[in-house]
Amino acid sequence: MQTQTATQVELGNCAPALTAKLAPWMTKILSCPDLLSELISNHGSPCHVVVDSEFERNVSKFMSAFSERGVKGRLFFARKANKLPCFVAAANRNGIGVDTASLAEVIETLALGVPAENIIVTAIGKERELVSKAISSGCLLVIDNFDELDLIQSIAQELEKKARIGLRFAGFEHAGRKVFSRFGMALEDSRAVIEQVSQDANLQLEIFHAHLDRYDIGERAAAGRKLIELVDLAKSFGADVKGIDLGGGILMRYLNDATQWKHFQQELLASVKGERTSFTFRGDGLGYTKIGNEIVGQPDLYPAHNDLAKQRFISAVLDNTEGGGVPLYKLLNERGLEIYFEPGRSLLDNCGMTLAKVTFRKKDTEGNFMVGLAMNRMNLRPFRAEFCCDPLFVSTEEGKSTTQNRHHAEPGAFLVGNLCSESDLIYRRRIKLAKAPQPGDLCAFPNTAGYLAHHMEIGTHGSPLPKNILLESDSLEVKGVY
């Protein structure tokens, strides 16, 4: 990989700006350095600050996509996206369900007062204790494979209680190709398995399910059309199927400026081609690789700016007319079918921010300027190669008192964590700095509530997991600490 000399670094080869979209409460709290310092002082660094009012606003936006089309639509909050009970409570208050992915999530969701009929269990690798809890409580189990089907049939018979189930399928055709997924049973087996479960008195088939990884409207709609065909088939076997479930993966937007996002991607590709000096750590291509004169791969990045965020994504799926010219929502309405979605990240849009304290500044052996934070890369872990949303630095009284020298101007910095590992970079791109932050200053990462803060977070070096502070979005008063 391409490396840089100290001379190159001094030229200011920083990543193009990726200015974060900020909710009003974020703008307000960033203007209150004393409050931010108090939160860090009381709860440690890093800490995750959240509000639940934005979650409720997102629910309302999502539901508008259904109501505008007269569709019987339901939402199930993907609990795995954030572990805090306040969002489960918010989902329940707003009349939506919860999608659970483990026994612990099922138990806690029930304990928080969510009715079992509003809980879907989509966990992968369901084991006996989870299945028993779901069936005995009355939750809906989405079956991913034949081993799960055998287990659920067996336990339902033992408990002498009918199991509410959905069947997940894979192998949908779109644009002349088969959509890849490792989740679900093959469509080729659909007729046999539907006939089997329809004849089992211990099973109550309610939905058909699809798990699609890409943010592709056409793929999602194609899956929906095929699942509707399966509903028709199931009804011919006497099954009273309520609807279809097209899973999660609903887009959200981290950036407001489409031009910035396009420019960033262009400059990343140019740096891998060698047309400009790299702005990533040791020439990391963030998904791209140069082999000889050829560039292979794709940028491993979430679409931080897009035109189909939240309810627009669902609306586009419902309005899709591929494969027949009739919008998907009309096919649903003609049959009186429900459609389910399981958003996680997008329901948590604008709900959270992560704060960390600056601890040091230094240069590495290649001359890269680094700003150390009291956190590690597992506290802010994207599924992709990079979280493409610039941090914001806040000057504090502690930082001002550390030294009067705000360090000489630096062209940019890599943000590094406190693990004893060379790989502990919070970002792999060099962030442009107006001025070098001082030890004691704070770094804020906007919009981290969905997956980034919790999904892969672990305790390290004997430290406990970071605290989570629930605020009232208008007054910024602390409502709870988790």
**Domain residue limits, the chain:** 6-51+351-481, 53-251+306-348
pLDDT in tens, 97-147: 999 999 999 999 999 999 999 999 999 999 999 999 999 999 999 999 999
Q: Tell me the helix, strand and coil percentages in the chain, rounded to 5.
A: 35, 20, 45
Identify any residues that bridge with 413 across adjacent strands, giving them in sequence order: 431
33: pLDDT strictly greater than 70: yes
Mean pLDDT of 143-152: 98
**Is 140:166 a contact under the CB 8 Å cutoff?**
yes
C-alpha–C-alpha distance, residues 426 and 414, integer Å: 8
Average predicted confidence (pLDDT) for the chain? 93
210: pLDDT strictly greater than 70: yes
**Given this model, what pLDDT does residue 404 score?**
55
pLDDT in tens, 386-444: 999 999 999 998 877 665 555 555 679 999 999 888 889 999 999 999 888 999 999 99
**Is 134:203 a contact under the CB 8 Å cutoff?**
no
C-alpha–C-alpha distance, residues 154 and 142, integer Å: 16
Q: pLDDT higher for 456 or 408?
A: 456
**Given this model, what pLDDT does residue 434 score?**
84
C-alpha–C-alpha distance, residues 127 and 149, integer Å: 11
Q: Which amino acid is at 389?
A: C
46 cis-preceded (ω within 30 degrees of 0): yes
Q: Which helix (H) or strand (E) holds 243?
A: strand 243-245
**Given this model, what pLDDT does residue 409 score?**
55
pTM of the shown model = 0.94
**Is 407:436 a contact under the CB 8 Å cutoff?**
yes
Q: Are strands 352-363 and 442-446 parallel, antiparallel or unpaired?
A: antiparallel
**Given this model, what pLDDT does residue 10 score?**
44
pLDDT in tens, 180-190: 999 999 999 99
Q: pLDDT higher for 458 or 177?
A: 177
Cβ-based neighbours of 88, under 8 Å, separated by 6 or more: 77, 79, 98, 108, 109, 112, 114
Q: pLDDT higher for 459 or 321?
A: 321
9: pLDDT strictly greater than 70: no
Give 255's DSSP letter: B
User: What percent of the chain lies above the pLDDT cut of 90?
Assistant: 88
Local confidence band at 2 (pLDDT 50, 70, 90 cut-offs): very low
Local confidence band at 3 (pLDDT 50, 70, 90 cut-offs): very low
C-alpha–C-alpha distance, residues 339 and 314, integer Å: 10
5: pLDDT strictly greater than 50: no
The pair of structure tokens assigned to 255 is: 């950036």
**Given this model, what pLDDT does residue 408 score?**
53
**Is 473:53 a contact under the CB 8 Å cutoff?**
yes
Q: Which helix (H) or strand (E) holds 94?
A: none
465 exposed, middle or buried (CB, 10 Å; 0-12, 13-18, 19+)? Answer: middle
Local confidence band at 35 (pLDDT 50, 70, 90 cut-offs): very high
Mean pLDDT of 10-17: 76
State the residue for tokens 């189909």: 308
Mean pLDDT of 319-335: 95
Local confidence band at 458 (pLDDT 50, 70, 90 cut-offs): confident
Cβ-based neighbours of 290, under 8 Å, separated by 6 or more: 272, 273, 274, 296
**Given this model, what pLDDT does residue 383 score?**
84
Q: pLDDT higher for 59 or 406?
A: 59
**Given this model, what pLDDT does residue 398 score?**
80
Mean pLDDT of 441-466: 88
**Given this model, what pLDDT does residue 402 score?**
60
Going by C-alpha positions, the residue among 92, 319, 324, 338 that lies closest to residue 220 is 319
**Given this model, what pLDDT does residue 435 score?**
85
Domain range 6-51+351-481, its CATH number among 3.40.47.10, 1.10.10.60, 2.40.37.10, 1.20.1530.20: 2.40.37.10
**Given this model, what pLDDT does residue 406 score?**
54
Superfamily of domain 53-251+306-348: Alanine racemase (3.20.20.10)
The pair of structure tokens assigned to 99 is: 């999608």
Other beta carbons within 10 Å of 292:
6
**Given this model, what pLDDT does residue 4 score?**
44
Q: pLDDT higher for 150 or 419?
A: 150
pLDDT in tens, 355-381: 999 999 999 999 999 999 999 998 998
State the residue for tokens 């970002």: 427
Mean pLDDT of 332-337: 98
154: pLDDT strictly greater than 60: yes
C-alpha–C-alpha distance, residues 471 and 43, integer Å: 14
pLDDT in tens, 270-320: 999 999 999 999 999 999 999 999 999 999 999 999 999 999 999 999 999
Going by C-alpha positions, the residue among 128, 126, 59 that lies closest to residue 97 is 59
The pair of structure tokens assigned to 154 is: 């067996």
The pair of structure tokens assigned to 397 is: 């009284």
For 321-369, give the secondary structure using H, E and C: CCCCCCCHHHHHHHHCCEEEECCCCHHHCCCEEEEEEEEEEEECCCCCE
54: pLDDT strictly greater than 80: yes
- For residue 48, CA distances in Å to 15, 448, 468 come to 26, 8, 5
Gyration radius from the chain CA atoms: 24
User: What ranges make up the beta strands (E) of 223-281?
Assistant: 243-245
